[in-house]
Amino acid sequence: MSDRLLRVNAYTTLDFVDARARGHDFEADAPGIVNVTAPREDPDRVDLQVELDETAIDDLPAHADEVELSPAQARTLAEALESAADRVEAAQGDADDE
């Protein structure tokens, strides 16, 4: 990612993910990063940040998406991620048993 907008360092949550950008007239796979953070001083929110490698997507200019979450929203998202991860792991375990 040559023109990265989000900083990636040792504290980045996920510094490499398989990602997809989808629009009305296009769909493209690209590597990306996902980061979860909160302001250092007087934190009042949780920030979820996603950026895809713009060099892999011709139809989309370089950009990063950010979502501001309240603590309750962040916990709801975390619970949904845990539940989905459990379902995928269970399905993969069933596939391993066959």
**What pLDDT, in 10s, does the model give residues 10-56?**
999 999 999 999 989 999 999 999 999 999 999 999 999 999 998 88
Q: Does residue 29 sit within a domain? A: yes
Q: How confident is the model at residue 89 (pLDDT cuts 50, 70, 90)?
A: very high
CA 33 to chain centre: 6
Q: Does residue 41 sit within a domain? A: yes
pLDDT of residue 31: 93
Q: Does residue 23 sit within a domain? A: yes
C-beta separation of 59 from 25 below 8 A: yes
pLDDT of residue 62: 87
Q: Does residue 55 sit within a domain? A: yes
Name the residue type at position 63.
Answer: H
pLDDT of residue 42: 96
* Assigned token pair, 55: 């060099």
Q: Does residue 89 sit within a domain? A: no
Q: Does residue 27 sit within a domain? A: yes
**Count of domains in the chain?**
1
Across the range 59-82, mean pLDDT stands at: 95
Q: Which domain holds residue 21?
A: 14-69
Could you tell me the strand order of the sheet in which 14-22 lies? 14-22, 27-37, 46-52, 64-69
C-beta separation of 69 from 44 below 8 A: no
Q: Does residue 83 sit within a domain? A: no
pLDDT of residue 9: 87
Sign of CA dihedral 52, 11, 46, 85: positive
